[in-house]
């Protein structure tokens, strides 16, 4: 098949999944065309079946807001024409589903099918805001195929937008060979000592991630467990988090690593992963941690309980319950057998349900289904 993929190219789960999907599809012989404003951050391996189409927006003094969405729609239509696309698969509805709708209608003689994958805040935060509500609902309803990354997001989409179209749940996935615990890949000797445990969090540091809860939890764990908290990523909550760590006397034990490539290597060193978000339609970073046998403590929101089975592959707590998180953390970090058992069970759950080998074919069959509609 000839498949156009549009996603946000910057750090973030929706861009990561879109890119991994494109790379696997290309390895399987499909022709994949990424269409975005820069090369997706996870697009690293050369493959002759992959091309990238840059969306350029012409600057003009009249434009307070340069019209990226129009440039993207036009580029989608041009690529569909040139590359004979069968499918335009857009990740994150706002504004990509709308651009794809427009592109499809520009191509009067060609029936390119639009598939929209809903990822999270495109439904729960941005798309449901009144400024975007109507256009998001319209664009999703006009897609020939709709997928959501969890049952929870599917039901949020139905309850928020009253959408009657079929929504297919295809969960996020991980490359379990790359995200596999290999202790020899772990090189942290300049950051932690041999007897220190590593607690990890990776995100784009947005308010929804509740970074402050991680630090408030860590202040309870630190006196009981020799440990360091490693925070990977960049975003608006980084400075407030640094200030909080300093105020709580944790300056030397909370390490901000910034944006990092090779999170799989860092995960190979971690003893515990935290994701205390107030909203998380799936939690891709938790999946990657589980794939590396790292137990996860997450919250009872969105798709996290679909991923983390409480007491079996990690722990689920209520949002903001830092006492409970700290209790589970201390249990896991003091009991090596418990931690390793939960880590192994977490990986098994990933192998059974979220491995790229079993999820990508679900997209391929869905493509076929939409094409044959």
Question: CB-side exposure of 198: number of CA atoms within 13 Å?
Answer: 25
Residue 149 binds to ligand GMT (criterion: CB under 6 A): yes
Tell me the window of 137-145, 216-224, 257-265, 273-281 that interacts with ligand GMT (CB under 6 A). Answer: 273-281
**Nearest approach, Cβ of 214 to ligand GMT (angstroms)?**
16
Residue 100 tokens read as 């794809």
Name, in order, each residue with C-beta under 8 angstroms of 62's C-beta and a sequence gap of 6 or more: none
**Nearest approach, Cβ of 292 to ligand GMT (angstroms)?**
16
**Nearest approach, Cβ of 217 to ligand GMT (angstroms)?**
19
**Nearest approach, Cβ of 13 to ligand GMT (angstroms)?**
3
Of 4, 9, 12, 343, the one binding ligand GMT by CB under 6 A: 12
Site for ligand GMT in 179-238 (CB under 6 A): 208
How many residues are listed for the chain in this entry? 373
Residue nearest to ligand GMT (CB): 120
Tell me the window of 41-49, 117-125, 180-188, 247-255 that interacts with ligand GMT (CB under 6 A). Answer: 117-125
Residue 136 binds to ligand GMT (criterion: CB under 6 A): no
Residue 18 binds to ligand GMT (criterion: CB under 6 A): no
CA angle 204, 11, 215 (to 5 degrees): 20
> Tokens 């696997």 sit at which residue?
24
Of 19, 36, 116, 121, the one binding ligand GMT by CB under 6 A: 121
- Total residues interacting with ligand GMT, rule: CB under 6 A: 19
Whichever of 12 and 80 has its CB closer to ligand GMT, that residue is 12
Tell me the window of 183-191, 247-255, 282-290, 323-331 that interacts with ligand GMT (CB under 6 A). Answer: 282-290
Residue 279 binds to ligand GMT (criterion: CB under 6 A): yes
Tell me the window of 23-31, 116-124, 289-297, 365-373 that interacts with ligand GMT (CB under 6 A). Answer: 116-124
Sort strands 31-36 and 50-54 into parallel, antiparallel or unpaired.
Answer: parallel
Write out 94-119 in H/E/C secondary structure.
HHHHHHHHHHHHHCCCCCCEEEEEEC
Residue 22 binds to ligand GMT (criterion: CB under 6 A): no
Residue 39 tokens read as 């090369």
Q: Of 101, 279, 91, 96, which is closest to residue 170 (Cα–Cα)?
A: 91
Whichever of 145 and 302 has its CB closer to ligand GMT, that residue is 302
Q: How far apart (Å, rounded) are the C-alpha atoms in residues 15 and 29?
A: 21
Q: Of 139, 136, 86, 140, which is closest to residue 111 (Cα–Cα)?
A: 86
Whichever of 81 and 278 has its CB closer to ligand GMT, that residue is 278
Q: How far apart (Å, rounded) are the C-alpha atoms in residues 280 and 302?
A: 5
Of 284, 296, 307, 333, the one binding ligand GMT by CB under 6 A: 284
Are 312 and 344 in contact, with CB atoms under 8 Å apart?
Answer: no
Of 132, 282, 315, 354, the one binding ligand GMT by CB under 6 A: 282
Are 294 and 272 in contact, with CB atoms under 8 Å apart?
Answer: yes
User: What does the DSSP assignment read for 217-251?
Assistant: HHHHHTTTS-EEEEEE--STTHHHHHHHHHHTT-T
- Residues interacting with ligand GMT, by CB under 6 A? 8, 12-15, 17, 119-121, 149, 172, 208, 279-284, 302
């Amino acid at each position: 098949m000839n498949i156009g993929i549009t996603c946000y190219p910057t750090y973030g789960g929706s861009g990561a999944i879109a890119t991994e999907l494109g790379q696997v599809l290309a390895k399987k012989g499909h022709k994949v065309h990424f269409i975005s404003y820069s090369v997706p951050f996870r697009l690293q391996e050369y493959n002759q079946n992959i091309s990238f189409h840059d969306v350029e927006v012409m600057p003009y003094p009249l434009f307070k807001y340069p019209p990226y969405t129009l440039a993207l729609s036009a580029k989608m239509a041009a690529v569909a024409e040139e590359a004979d696309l069968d499918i335009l698969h857009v990740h994150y509805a706002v504004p990509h589903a709308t651009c794809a709708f427009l592109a499809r209608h520009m191509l009067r003689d060609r029936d390119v099918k639009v598939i929209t994958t809903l990822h999270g805040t495109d439904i729960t935060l941005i798309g449901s805001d009144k400024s975007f509500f109507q256009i998001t609902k319209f664009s999703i309803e006009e897609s020939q195929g709709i997928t959501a990354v969890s049952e929870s997001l599917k039901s949020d989409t139905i309850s928020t937008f009253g959408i009657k179209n079929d929504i297919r749940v295809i969960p996020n996935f991980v490359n379990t060979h790359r995200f596999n615990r290999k202790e020899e890949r772990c090189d942290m000797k300049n950051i932690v000592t041999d007897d220190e445990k590593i607690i990890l969090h990776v995100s784009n540091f947005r308010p929804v991630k509740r970074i402050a809860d991680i630090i408030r939890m860590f202040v309870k764990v630190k006196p009981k467990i020799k440990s360091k908290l490693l925070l990977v990523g960049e975003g608006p909550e980084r400075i407030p988090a640094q200030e909080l760590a300093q105020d709580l006397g944790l300056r030397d034990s909370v390490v901000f690593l910034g944006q990092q490539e090779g999170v799989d290597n860092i995960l190979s060193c971690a003893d515990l992963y935290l994701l205390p978000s107030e909203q998380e339609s799936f939690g891709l970073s938790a999946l990657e941690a589980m794939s590396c046998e790292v137990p996860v403590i997450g919250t009872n929101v969105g798709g996290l309980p679909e991923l983390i089975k409480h007491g079996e592959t990690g722990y689920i707590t209520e949002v903001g319950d830092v006492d409970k998180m700290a209790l589970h953390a201390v249990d896991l970090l003091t009991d090596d057998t418990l931690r390793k058992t939960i880590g192994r069970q977490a990986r098994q759950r990933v192998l059974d349900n979220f491995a790229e080998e079993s999820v990508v074919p679900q997209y391929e069959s869905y493509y076929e289904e939409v094409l044959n509609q």
